[in-house]
Amino acid sequence: MTILITGATGAVGRHLVAVLLAAGEDVRAVSRDPEKAALPSGVDVVAADLADASSLDDDVFAGVDRAFVFPSDATDTFMEAAVAAGVDRFVVLSSLAAAEEFPRDHGSASQVHHAAVEAAVTSRTDRWTILRPGTFANNLLSWAYPISNGFPVRAPYVQSAQAPIHEADVADAAAAALRSEEWVGHAIAMTGPGALTRADQVAAIAAAIGRPIELVDISADEFRAETSAFIPQPIMTMLLDYWSDTLTTPDRVRPVTPLTGRPGRTLAQWARDHRADFGAA
């Protein structure tokens, strides 16, 4: 049978496709433009728009028994079509915010979005696994422009501590959940293997690219003023609340080991994997 991947061209999706192919699975990916998907030759790439029910036809679902659900605004439309087509098993990429473990999560942009995604799945089937990663290490790519151009990183709450997770660990966890019945009905929290201050996160990138990076500690108000043109207000509030809270209470580590069978990749490894994004030769 075939595993259907939505979000296959994203950071998690590309890793997931590669892992499943290496494991010998039949993989189908959905893309609005298959010619631009640039996925491996072993992947059956079909043209569809998850928000357009008329495009979710037999070409998408024929022979599919399991699906990876990327958390898009079109999840309701996709799930309605997938369940009607007889897809039996779903692994959903969500967010730790959806668990509402902290006051900052209630009503946050991430919680509202991912709770709706989870509901679109769990209201239609009980054959689900929900993956709830915390902050992605890929969020640190917001520093790529200043670092690659030799400018300082200007950031608030530089002594707050988060546990960023490597996108490849999320993909490995998704692959494990898709290939096993063990995790049906489970919502699984996961983070990177260690909580590091934002200053230590900059230092990890500096070590990976082999040159120092200046870090300037700015106030929350300065951050708002400098980034409000391109960070929406709900996201701004969510980020500042998160960094402020983890100044006094660092992220609790939630290992991926139960799913993947090995420790999670460190931030140092992530930084080495992304050296080119930060201007390293």
Number of domains in the chain: 1
Contact 9, 50 (CB under 8 A): no
Predicted pLDDT at 280 = 74
Predicted pLDDT at 210 = 97
Residue 225 lies in a domain: no
| Residue segments in the chain with a per-residue pLDDT below the cut of 70 | 281
Beta-carbon count within 10 A of 78 CB: 27
Round to whole Å and give the CA distance between 46 and 211.
43
Residue 97 lies in a domain: yes
Task: List the Cα angle 79/41/128 in 5-degree steps.
Answer: 25
Q: What tens digit of pLDDT does each residue of 97-125 get?
A: 999 999 999 999 999 999 999 999 999 99
Residue 204 lies in a domain: no
77: domain range? 2-133+166-191+254-260
Sign, CA torsion 214/215/216/220:
positive
Q: Which of 36, 48, 35, 52 is nearest to 5 (CA)?
A: 48
Predicted pLDDT at 281 = 65
Residue 228 lies in a domain: no
Residue 16 lies in a domain: yes
Residue 95 lies in a domain: yes
Residue 40 lies in a domain: yes
Predicted pLDDT at 117 = 98
CATH code assigned at 176:
3.40.50.720
Residue 151 lies in a domain: no
pTM here is 0.97
Round to whole Å and give the CA distance between 8 and 78.
15
In DSSP terms, 93 is beta-bridged to: 131
